[in-house]
A and B are shown apart, each in its own frame.
Chain A
Amino acid sequence: MWRIRAFEERVGELTRANEVHGLVHLSVGQEAVAAGVCGLLRADDPVYSNHRAHGHALAKGAPMERVMAELMGRADGVCRGLGGSMHLVDADHGFLGATGVVGGNVPLALGSALAGRLLGRDSVAVVFFGDGAVQGGIFVESVNLAALWRLPVILVCENNGFAEFTPRSAHTNVERVSEVVAPYGFERETVDGNDVAAVREACSRFVEAARGGEGPFLLECLTHRLGGHYEGDPERYRQALAAEEWQELDPILRLQRRLGVDGAELEQAAREEVEAAVRFARESAFPTTELAGDLVYAS
């Protein structure tokens, strides 16, 4: 979690310094979901993510320096500089991709789950999405199909209470995402998404069952996005948390309190790793202009 926190905070600085480019969505405050879920997965478990993807990619094993290089648009980025923050992919670690279209890759995770079954593997597909995705038609289509075909997929909703700039209550009358999928009859659970132990405990049961071919499952993680929707968001739509409120919520501080550790060494190591990643990324060249034309089609 410290790796994600340190990475995201540094990316925020680098965005303001115009070294990281484009639309950048940080996951500070939501680290427990990425860590709690991805820590249970193998490299061959396909994972899909949304526009707020850095933490998921790192937790799934994507090399930090190549993620940082990608955010800076460099040739050594995981996507060679063609993807960017919202479209991270690291196939070697089963991170099959983030998407900038809310809800757009939920059915892709179903397809990967079905592929695993048809190929006789015990892999588990996971897709992360926010509560904003739940109001889209593709979510309903996907939930129906996942349930109908009993696919070994875990739908992980990071419910941070805000769809972009609007509170969930302004978009839907259904407060809990786990209630949205209730009629489909599969197992679902809502957990405190800022409690990494709770996330891990609930998800481990789902992962184990999905390895045995069961599914689908929905894990709703109630969490809190500490920052704005995107980096630079003035956040006129909500009140900032008081520092003491955040102290209570912060998933990293909570874990440290529970374990009775101060975490300073982990934080230090994480920040050093991030600085090394920044150095790597800064030294990486920008892609050649030919690259774009070369990668429109696979050969």
Chain B
Amino acid sequence: MTQTTYLQAITTTLAEAMRADPSVLVLGEDVAEGGPWGATAGLVDEFGPERVRNTPISEAAICGVAIGLAQSGLRPVVEIMFVDFLTLALDQLVNQAAKAHFMSGGQLRVPLVLRTQGGAGQRGGAQHSQSLEAWLTHVPGLKVAMPSTAADAGDLLAAAIADPNPVVLVENKTLYFRREDVREAEPAGLGRARVVRPGRDATVVALSRLVPEALAAADELAADGIEVEVVDPRTLVPLDLETIVGSVARTHRLVVAHEAVRSGGFGAELAAVVQEAALDELDAPVARVGAPFTPVPFSPTLEDAYLPGRAEVVAAVRAVVGG
């Protein structure tokens, strides 16, 4: 079977979208050189510097220019190199992009895609390692997706480019280079979760890097006869609550798992909406896996201890199944 990586899927999808639609263009810091990971590598050769635009290190202006482009008929795909730097563009994203359609009474559309990446594990320290997706999910008007596989990275990017709304794709730097088989599956659309692994004893709803961690946890627990169902929402806004509640209705136990700080994380929202929708289905309190309430530490030993992963998911599942 052919193999690909998360990063190759992004590059390929961008090229396909730009070939299919001349209104698609890419802009960001060093995008013509491919960016630090190579997500946009080679695009400038095919599409030229007008459509693959290098920008100064001006995150707010990059985002604002993209909003103007989007409002005027183009489909910009912006790269913000680290999600940590999205703070610099939040006025543009939150006050301008997210509200333009609404505040104009539906006159304006902002078909803007903002690609960025987050996550720790590469000793980047506290300003290059964060998981800030929960902030974005709190803003009506934005859509937010977090692909965990190469296939989803490509599919969700394609769906985001086609969408008439501002969509933020939060990629994960530690997933970029994993090799995966190209699977022949129905393309992921925005707002559709995936049951990654079926199981009867507990549901783990995991985001981004925690999806492979949850799968590893499921393997470990299966050896003890505990069958875990792993669900990847893939899109946080809009959320496919139906698939998640459907899984909980089968397993009656729920663990939510993400790398972001547990307090105020998206897992809290997941726990809340599941209990609102299906409290009667739950046989145990919802357990949350997330990082402790500290900035991401730099020292390798501290960062490794900080990062939630397989072991934390295993412990949480054991707790909810009463093992």
For B50, give its contact among A90, A110, A118, A137 (CB under 8 Å): A118
Q: List 26 A-B contacts (CB under 8 A).
A: A79-B105, A79-B107, A80-B106, A83-B104, A91-B108, A96-B71, A97-B71, A107-B61, A107-B63, A108-B96, A110-B61, A110-B68, A111-B72, A114-B69, A119-B72, A119-B73, A119-B74, A138-B61, A141-B61, A144-B61, A145-B58, A295-B102, A297-B141, A298-B101, A298-B106, A298-B110
Contacting residues of chain A (50-88) with chain B, CB-CB under 8 angstroms: 77-83, 87
The smallest beta-carbon distance between A250 and chain B, in angstroms, is 33
Interface string of A245-271 (1 = CB under 8 A from B): 000000000000000000000000000
**B16 within 8 Å of A (CB atoms):** no
- Inter-chain contact A101/B95, CB cutoff 8 Å: yes
Q: Which residue of B lies closest to A119 (CB)?
A: B73
Contacting residues of chain A (283-299) with chain B, CB-CB under 8 angstroms: 292, 295-299
For B74, give its contact among A78, A115, A138, A144 (CB under 8 Å): A115
The smallest beta-carbon distance between A102 and chain B, in angstroms, is 10
Q: Which residue of B lies closest to A96 (CB)?
A: B71
For B56, give its contact among A82, A83, A144, A295 (CB under 8 Å): A144
A18 to B297, CA, bound (A): 54
Chain B contacts for A297, CB-based, 8 A: 101, 141, 143, 164-165
Contacting residues of chain A (95-150) with chain B, CB-CB under 8 angstroms: 96-97, 99-101, 104-116, 118-119, 125, 137-138, 141-142, 144-145, 148
- Inter-chain contact A148/B65, CB cutoff 8 Å: no
A252 to B108, CA, bound (A): 34
A77 to B104, CA, bound (A): 10
A173 to B69, CA, bound (A): 34
Chain A contacts for B141, CB-based, 8 A: 296-297
Chain B contacts for A80, CB-based, 8 A: 105-106
**A199 within 8 Å of B (CB atoms):** no
Chain B contacts for A89, CB-based, 8 A: 100, 103-105, 107-108
Chain A contacts for B55, CB-based, 8 A: 145
- Inter-chain contact A296/B102, CB cutoff 8 Å: yes
Interface string of A13-24 (1 = CB under 8 A from B): 000000000000
**B109 within 8 Å of A (CB atoms):** yes
Chain A contacts for B25, CB-based, 8 A: 118
**B32 within 8 Å of A (CB atoms):** no
A97 to B70, CA, bound (A): 14
Q: Which residue of A lies closest to B110 (CB)?
A: A298
Chain B contacts for A96, CB-based, 8 A: 68, 71-72, 108
Q: Which residue of B lies closest to A151 (CB)?
A: B65
Contacting residues of chain B (101-155) with chain A, CB-CB under 8 angstroms: 101-110, 140-141, 143
**B91 within 8 Å of A (CB atoms):** yes
Chain A contacts for B63, CB-based, 8 A: 107
**A216 within 8 Å of B (CB atoms):** no
- Inter-chain contact B103/A82, CB cutoff 8 Å: yes
A112 to B58, CA, bound (A): 18
A17 to B298, CA, bound (A): 59
Chain B contacts for A228, CB-based, 8 A: none
- Inter-chain contact A104/B92, CB cutoff 8 Å: yes
A97 to B99, CA, bound (A): 11
Chain B contacts for A118, CB-based, 8 A: 25, 50-51, 74
- Inter-chain contact B64/A111, CB cutoff 8 Å: yes
A91 to B71, CA, bound (A): 10
- Inter-chain contact B60/A99, CB cutoff 8 Å: no
A110 to B65, CA, bound (A): 6
Q: A101-B95, A107-B67, A295-B106 are in contact. List 5 more A-B contacts (CB 8 A).
A: A46-B68, A80-B105, A114-B65, A119-B73, A141-B58
- Inter-chain contact A111/B108, CB cutoff 8 Å: no
Chain A contacts for B60, CB-based, 8 A: 107, 137-138, 141
Contacting residues of chain B (76-106) with chain A, CB-CB under 8 angstroms: 76, 91-92, 95-96, 99-106
Chain B contacts for A90, CB-based, 8 A: 107
For B105, give its contact among A104, A105, A108, A295 (CB under 8 Å): A295
Interface centre among B60, B65, B96, B164 (most CB of A within 10 A): B65
The smallest beta-carbon distance between B179 and chain A, in angstroms, is 36
Chain B contacts for A295, CB-based, 8 A: 101-102, 105-106
Kindly list the 4 A-B residue pairs having the minimum CB-CB distance in the complex, ordered from nearest: A111-B68, A107-B64, A80-B105, A115-B72
Given known A-B contacts A101-B95, A115-B72, A138-B60, A145 and B109 have beta carbons under 8 A apart: no
The smallest beta-carbon distance between A152 and chain B, in angstroms, is 12
Chain B contacts for A115, CB-based, 8 A: 68-69, 72-74
The smallest beta-carbon distance between B163 and chain A, in angstroms, is 8
Chain B contacts for A296, CB-based, 8 A: 101-102, 140-141
A149 to B237, CA, bound (A): 35
A79 to B74, CA, bound (A): 22
**B18 within 8 Å of A (CB atoms):** no
Given known A-B contacts A80-B106, A298-B106, A114 and B68 have beta carbons under 8 A apart: yes
**B66 within 8 Å of A (CB atoms):** yes
